[in-house]
Amino acid sequence: MAIPRDVDPRLLRAFATAAEELHFTRAAARLYVAQQALSRDIRRLERAWGTDLFVRTTRQVTLTADGERLLPYVRRVLAAQDELLAACADGTSPLLVDLNSEGLISGRVLARARELAPGHELMARFESGLTGAAAEMLAGRLDVSFGYFGGLAPALRSGLCHRLVRYEAMAVLLPRDHRLADRSEIALDALAGESVYAGAGNPRTLEWTELARELFAGHGVEVAAPAPMAVGVAEFRRVMAKTATPVLVVVDYAAMPDTVLRPLVAPVPLSPVSLVWREGLRHPGLDALLGAAGELGAAQGWLERPAGSWLPTTVTASLYGNH
């Protein structure tokens, strides 16, 4: 076997990912490429190296003896490449931090992190949904985000790291003239027969929509049909006036015109909010964000859970630890 000196790192990453998954469709999803493109890259690498790396059948994919032997070397090359990229960055480039929306706890964490790392630039972004932000992080166009990590598809989670920072109480945003608007809090069963908007149809907020479906199950509440996302206060006011559809939010959601925000109870539903970053990322700003989240969380009891509160079933010890 004669291995050429110059090999495209993309081909090496395709091989390593396919070797980890032993399933070309899942590997392609992790790399955000079409399965045909992944297969083409694997074949290019096999031709360049003059050997088969996989045994492919209609039932399974396995590594050949050469594939098994070369995989550890390929992993070391990719790890070295990641270290090189991190060293070149050296914390001097801006850290791009997705806050999702204005007014959430992510903004408070970012503000404190900027105080902890005044010599580094932490730039805010607004991606509107962790699923969308996760794709941007894996593509290297975003560094950090916040949200419900357990609601991400496994292919997205596998390239990311996270730390749980808050169990955030959920609420509902109601039109000011809604039948429940005069209540100080809303029991879930009181929403029976309602359709509540939770981002359905928005591919960037899949994790939030699925959390809503799980929360509403058994309470007679439906997730509202897909609708165009309203961007800006004026558009939000227009759409709310037109549809009068309640919106599932969190208790810190920013005030909107002609609406009232009411916490949900019986039970109190909690959204597990994690700080999420790309695997292998090294930046002083990330250290500052983690420090800020820990500091604020300890001071304000962000990981305390009210008795009888509700959590989605994906909150397991393997994802979130025991809190």
Chunk the chain into consecutive blocks of 10 residues (it has 323) and report each block's average pLDDT, rounded to whole numbers.
76 93 88 86 92 90 94 90 68 85 90 95 89 91 94 89 96 93 96 92 91 95 80 65 83 86 96 94 93 96 93 66 47
- The CATH number of domain 95-167+271-320 is 1.10.10.10: no
DSSP 207-260: HHHHHHHHHHTTTT-EEPPP-PPP-SHHHHHHHHHHH---EEEETTPPP-TTEE
Question: What is the DSSP code (8-state) at residue 302?
Answer: T
One fold for 95-167+271-320 and 169-265: yes
Given a contact cutoff of 8 angstroms between Cβ atoms, the answer to whether 262 and 184 are in contact is: yes
Domain ranges of the chain: 9-89, 95-167+271-320, 169-265
Given a contact cutoff of 8 angstroms between Cβ atoms, the answer to whether 274 and 162 are in contact is: yes
pLDDT at 317: 46
pLDDT at 233: 60
Give the predicted TM-score (pTM) of the model.
0.70
Annotation: CATH topology of 169-265: D-Maltodextrin-Binding Protein; domain 2 (3.40.190)
pLDDT at 139: 87
Of 3.30.1490.100, 1.10.10.10, 1.25.40.420, 3.30.200.20, which CATH number belongs to 9-89? Answer: 1.10.10.10
Question: What is the DSSP code (8-state) at residue 271?
Answer: E
State the Cα–Cα distance between residues 84 and 78, nearest whole angstrom. 10
pLDDT at 92: 66
pLDDT at 158: 87
Long-range contacts of 109-112 (CB under 8 A, 24+ apart): 109/146, 109/165, 109/275, 109/289, 109/292, 109/293, 109/296, 110/289, 110/292, 112/292, 112/295, 112/296
pLDDT at 227: 72
State the Cα–Cα distance between residues 186 and 267, nearest whole angstrom. 10
pLDDT at 323: 44
